[in-house]
């Protein structure tokens, strides 16, 4: 057997510390601006950030944290959180970002499951930490992201982050690590069952950052001032804290105030060109713009993902405000980026209507991710934009298995996403549902997302959720649950009539219920499981009508 001829290039490991080191060295004066919990706006540079990240690494080492151990964060988007993003994995430990919006019991489960050595927390979460600490006896210390003067009054003994950092000199060289070592740990929000951990590696994080920065992906650049609204506690803020230093983009962190007014003011003050977040956040921002009668003077692109971007929102951003919407799909298990709705040159020659239809979909994969849709028998389905199937993915930033779980989630080497989708001739992905949310009417699937998108386009609708409701004849039929916009009114009949000509007749919901608010998960997604529970006994008018001629409804054998 002949020995393979190896390349003769430097074997430089892809470590996350190299991203910050690059920014500190080559974009040293570029700013990182943060609205702080303390109430003021803090600014410093990539150079300052690297120095403090090194001081943090030294402090954690002094506290006895070993490479491979987990150090958790419970924090908003801000410069200290960014320091933890680099100071922790920089010396080989793992940065475990926790979503503070989860129930305390779930957080305690996560902290214990991850076996976190220390937890860094923003002082807003002092009460939460007091509730967690007795349930997490293996945590060796709770570190408040504050100076000694701003330490909150708590039952739990806490350390001051600033005191720990100030005790170190930052004279530290990032060690060369094996790029396959773990970098970050993120848990899925666990809408069903206990949360599961996705453990990224340095290699997967850096490759993902490269991919995310590409012009047809998130298209970040040194000419951008980037405000990630997507939290750093949710799938690494979609990779922006890595892609920004990689490209040299200015970073603007909004802290805890995510209402429309606060976001708008920060965007204007910091000349933000680029942002990213889930649709719920943008609803608040767009409402504020409308009410205050103001416009963006610098924002030109925004990524919308996490749940489907309603077409009405896409149109408002693009047509009214001239902001390009990049619709993105991904998940915690994918670091998270999978697809983005950027058009090819040929697609952008098509009619405006055709282009818009493409942009409403979740888009094209970026290099690093491969996808397919499969039927119940596991066989590939055609990419014709019609066939629905279970979406499977694979690639170097897709998980192989969950943290501390032995069984592999993979099927023939592919990760089943739990999403149901079509893929069209343009290779554009269209997510129609989570597999558990899909509505099966007479054996045929109805996309709840498509039904919601039509409702949201109605001027009187603030938010809508479509869920399956039991039906004696069709097994399930769609029920639409709607929150009306303040000062607007609409009736059930008007809303149902609004569907005429917009979807197939048999997709039109059988009933509409108006509510004051809809339940959301910790990441701002509709909690359909809870809604289905709430409306378990709802009787559709069509069910009563159909009962007469449906033997099953009377419990008779067919």
194 vs 269, which CB is nearer to ligand ADP?
Answer: 194
Per-residue three-class SS string for 315-378: HHHHHHHCCEEEEEEECHHHCCEEEECCCCCCHHHCCHHHHHHHHHCCEEECCCCEEEEECCCC
Query: Which C-beta is closer to ligand ADP: that of 327 or that of 359?
Result: 327
- Answer whether 507's CB lies under 8 Å from 446's CB: yes
By CB atoms closer than 10 A (0-12, 13-18, 19+), residue 497 is: exposed
Shortest distance, CB of residue 279 to ligand ADP, whole angstroms? 9
| Given the residues 440, 444, 502, 506, the one annotated as active site | 440
Nearest distance from C-beta of residue 128 to ligand ADP, angstroms: 19
Residue 363 structure tokens: 């888009």
Q: Are 228 and 263 within 8 A, CB to CB?
A: no
**Nearer to ligand ADP by C-beta: 401 or 538?**
401
Give min distance, CB of 353 to ligand ADP, in A.
21
Active site residue 440: yes
Q: Which of 83, 162, 270, 333 is catalytic?
A: 333
Q: Of all helices (H) and strands (E), which one includes residue 45?
A: strand 41-45
Strand partners, 392: 372, 416
The sheet carrying 182-187 orders its strands as 158-160, 141-144, 116-121, 70-74, 94-97, 182-187, 197-201
Minimum distance of ligand ADP from residue 360's CB (angstroms): 10
Euclidean distance between CA atoms 212 and 88, whole angstroms: 22
- Annotated catalytic residue 156: no
Rounded-to-10 torsion of CA 255, 258, 262, 264 = 110
Out of 124, 163, 265, 445, which one is annotated catalytic? 445
Q: What is the nearest approach in angstroms of ligand ADP to the Cβ of residue 156?
A: 28
Q: Which of 73, 188, 417, 432 is catalytic?
A: 188
Q: Nearest 5°: phi and psi at 140?
A: -85, -20
Task: Retrieve residue 410's tokens.
Answer: 């993979």
192 or 491: CB nearest ligand ADP: 192
Please state, in angstroms and rounded to a whole number, the distance separating the CA atoms of residues 435 and 109: 26
For tokens 């239809």, name the residue: 357
Q: With b meaning 16 or more CB within 10 Å and e meaning fewer, what string describes 180-212?
A: ebbbbbbbbbbbeeebbbbbbbbbbbbbbbbbb
Shorter beta-carbon distance to ligand ADP: residue 236 or 523? 523
Known active-site residue 333: yes
**Residue 282 annotated among the catalytic residues of the structure:** no
Query: How many helices (DSSP H) and strands (DSSP E) are in the chain?
Result: 17, 25
| 3-state SS class at 423 | strand
Which is nearer to ligand ADP, 362 or 422 (by Cβ)? 362
DSSP string over 218-266: T---TT-EEEE-S-TTSGGGGGHHHHHHHHT-EEEE-BT--SHHHHHHH
Q: How far is the CB of 180 from ligand ADP (least distance, A)?
A: 23
Residue number with CB closer to ligand ADP (328 or 531): 328
Residue 56 or 218 with smaller CB distance to ligand ADP: 218
Residues engaged in binding ligand ADP (CB under 6 A): 188-189, 235, 305-308, 327-329, 331-332, 336, 362, 417-419, 431, 434, 523, 525
Active-site residue numbers?
188, 333, 440, 445
């Amino acid at each position: 057997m002949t020995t393979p001829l190896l390349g003769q290039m430097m074997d430089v490991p892809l470590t996350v510390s190299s991203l910050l080191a690059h920014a500190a060295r080559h974009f040293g004066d570029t700013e990182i601006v943060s609205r702080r919990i303390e109430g003021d706006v803090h600014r410093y540079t990539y150079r300052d950030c690297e120095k403090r990240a090194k001081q943090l690494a030294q402090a954690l080492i002094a506290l006895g944290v070993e490479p491979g151990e987990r150090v958790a964060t419970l924090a908003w988007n801000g410069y200290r959180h960014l320091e933890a993003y680099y100071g922790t994995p920089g010396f080989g430990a793992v940065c475990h970002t926790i979503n503070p919006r989860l129930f305390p019991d779930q957080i305690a489960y996560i902290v214990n499951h991850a076996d976190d050595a220390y937890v860094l927390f923003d002082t807003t979460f002092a009460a939460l930490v007091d509730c967690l600490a007795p349930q997490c006896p293996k945590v060796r210390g709770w570190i408040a992201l504050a100076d000694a003067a701003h330490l909150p009054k708590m039952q739990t003994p806490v350390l001051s982050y600033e005191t720990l950092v100030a005790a170190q000199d930052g004279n530290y060289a990032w060690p060369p690590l094996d790029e396959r070592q773990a970098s970050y740990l993120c848990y899925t929000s666990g809408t069903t069952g206990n949360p599961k951990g996705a453990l990224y590696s340095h290699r997967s994080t850096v490759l993902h950052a490269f991919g995310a920065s590409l012009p047809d992906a998130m298209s970040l650049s040194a000419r951008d001032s980037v405000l990630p609204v997507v939290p750093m506690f949710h799938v690494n803020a979609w990779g922006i804290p890595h892609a920004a230093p990689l490209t040299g983009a200015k970073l603007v962190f909004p802290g805890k105030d995510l209402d429309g007014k606060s976001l708008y003011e920060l965007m204007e003050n910091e000349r933000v060109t680029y942002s990213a977040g889930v649709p719920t956040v943008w609803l608040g921002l767009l409402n504020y713009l409308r009410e205050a009668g103001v416009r963006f003077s610098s924002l030109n692109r925004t990524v919308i993902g996490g749940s489907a971007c309603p077409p009405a929102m896409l149109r408002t951003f693009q047509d009214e405000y001239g902001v390009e919407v990049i619709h993105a799909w991904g998940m915690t298990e994918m670091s998270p980026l999978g697809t983005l709705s950027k058009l090819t040159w040929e697609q952008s020659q098509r009619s405006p209507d055709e282009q818009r239809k493409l942009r409403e979909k979740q888009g094209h994969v970026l290099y690093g991710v491969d996808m397919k849709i499969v039927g119940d028998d596991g066989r590939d389905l055609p990419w014709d934009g019609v066939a629905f199937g279970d979406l499977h993915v694979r690639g170097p930033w897709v998980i192989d298995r969950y943290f501390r779980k032995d069984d592999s989630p993979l099927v023939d080497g592919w990760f089943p996403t739990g999403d149901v989708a079509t893929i069209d001739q343009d290779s554009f992905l269209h997510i129609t549902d989570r597999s558990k949310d899909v509505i099966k009417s007479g054996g045929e699937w109805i996309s709840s997302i498509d039904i919601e998108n039509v409702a949201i386009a109605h001027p009187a609708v603030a938010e809508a959720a479509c869920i399956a409701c039991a039906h004696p004849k069709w097994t399930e039929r769609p029920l639409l649950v709607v929150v009306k916009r303040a000062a607007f009114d609409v009736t059930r009949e008007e809303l149902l009539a609004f569907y005429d000509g917009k979807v197939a007749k048999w997709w039109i919901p059988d009933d509409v219920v108006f509510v004051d608010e809809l339940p959301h998960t910790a990441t701002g997604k509709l909690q359909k499981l809870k809604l289905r529970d709430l409306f378990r006994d709802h009787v559709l008018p069509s069910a009563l009508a159909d009962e007469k001629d449906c033997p099953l409804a009377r419990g008779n054998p067919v």
